[in-house]
Amino acid sequence: MTTDLDTLRGELLAAIDAATALDALEAVRVQALGKQGAITGLLKTLGKLTPEERQEQGPRIHSLREAVTEALASRKAAMEQAALDARLASETVDMTLPVDGVAPGSVHPVSQVMDELAEIFADLGFAVATGPEVEDDWHNFTALNIPETHPARAMHDTFYLAGAHERPMVLRTHTSPVQIRTMTSTKPPIRIIAPGRVYRSDSDATHTPMFHQIEGLVIDKGITLGHLKWTLETFLKAFFERDDIVLRLRPSYFPFTEPSAEVDVGFTWKDGKRVIGGSGDAPGGGWMEVLGSGMVHRRVIEACGLDPEEWQGFAFGTGVDRLAMLKYGMDDLRPFFDGDLRWLKHYGFSALDVPTLSGGVGA
């Protein structure tokens, strides 16, 4: 029996090494371990042996099965890796060739809207400012007059970073820290917009853990709430490309502005969808919140080393993804980040659709 097992082991291992294709390897596996396989047949004989014979032959048969099983797995992995390497070598793409028109790329709606916003505000004299997405507690909360006990600091809203830092570090919850960094490093007057990614612990049809926000800041002498309303009205008319945009400012509360106002835009219903434009008080109309805004709180101005008696300003903010949804008729935020090429093909923009005020920002 011992000689037979050794012979069988040698034959099977040799057959495994000689297999050059997966189907040949599978045939060896069936020959050895299938229902009618040689090793399977040996295992069936154990029940007929005496206890002494079983004790002697059992370990040898099981050892044979394990050796063959391991050899089969190893050979299969090597063959699959070789096949993958050959496929990768044969499917190289020459990145220097022109783009194939059969599979054109597209500009993501968020990128398109970012470009539209930058074009509009550049015409109004605003510069684009950026800042880090990993922020310290002071820039993200304290300098913005957000107290230690404010709900915005709660763990269920904010992603805190572990580690030994001089100050607590977070993934920024808004782009407002860019305003702080600008006020502490730039001499007024200041006119900036701060677009970028922000992070909050939330996820549903209208919220995602990462989304895009744009905020605006003006710091100058003699700035009033009237300047804020005119700026927002001019911006929204240009963005939605309609002259009948009607705004409604409702008193609100934000720690970093005083007074604060939520900004609603009027809309009407058409074919079961909201169409931005007109007064929300008109028959069949309504109001939709699109912006948060207000006059920069004097404590924020002081925290940035400026004299609030000399300098005043206003700030506003809105979600870029939300603006894209409103303008281009999308009803769910989550596909923005799914990477579904079918969705991108439907809602995406051509690389030549560069927004301009003369040609239309929604080109």
pLDDT at position 342, please?
86
pLDDT digits (tens), the chain, 363 positions: 556 888 888 888 999 999 989 899 999 999 988 888 888 888 888 888 888 888 888 888 888 889 999 999 999 999 999 999 988 888 877 778 776 554 567 889 999 999 999 999 999 999 999 999 999 989 999 999 988 777 766 655 788 888 767 788 999 999 999 999 999 999 999 999 999 999 988 766 666 788 899 999 999 999 999 999 999 999 999 999 999 999 999 999 999 999 999 999 998 888 777 888 888 888 888 998 999 999 999 999 999 999 999 999 999 999 998 889 888 888 788 888 888 888 888 888 887 777 766 555 665
pLDDT at position 144, please?
93
Phi and psi, residue 199, nearest 5°: -135, 130
Whole-angstrom Cα distance, residue 90 to residue 304?
A: 59
The residue among 17, 5, 159 whose CA lies nearest residue 74 is 17
CA distances from 237 to 79, 100, 142, 216, 340 (A): 63, 38, 34, 16, 31
Whole-angstrom Cα distance, residue 292 to residue 254?
A: 8
Residues whose CB is less than 8 angstroms from the CB of residue 156 and which lie 6 or more positions away in sequence, other chains included:
201
Question: Is this structure's pTM higher than 0.85?
Answer: no
pLDDT at position 224, please?
95
Three-state DSSP at 337 gives: helix
Other beta carbons within 10 angstroms of residue 233's beta carbon come to: 15
Tokens 């925290």 locate to 303
Residues whose CB is less than 8 angstroms from the CB of residue 311 and which lie 6 or more positions away in sequence, other chains included:
188, 219, 220, 221, 301
pLDDT at position 252, please?
94
Q: Give the containing element (helix H, strand E) for 194.
A: strand 190-199
On the question of a cis peptide bond just before residue 189, with omega within 30 degrees of 0, the verdict is yes
293, with CB counted inside 10 A (0-12, 13-18, 19+), is buried
- Return the amino acid letter for 328: Y
pLDDT at position 93, please?
74
Structural contact between residues 313 and 217, judged by C-beta atoms closer than 8 angstroms: yes
CA distances from 213 to 113, 114, 324 (A): 11, 9, 11
pLDDT at position 128, please?
95
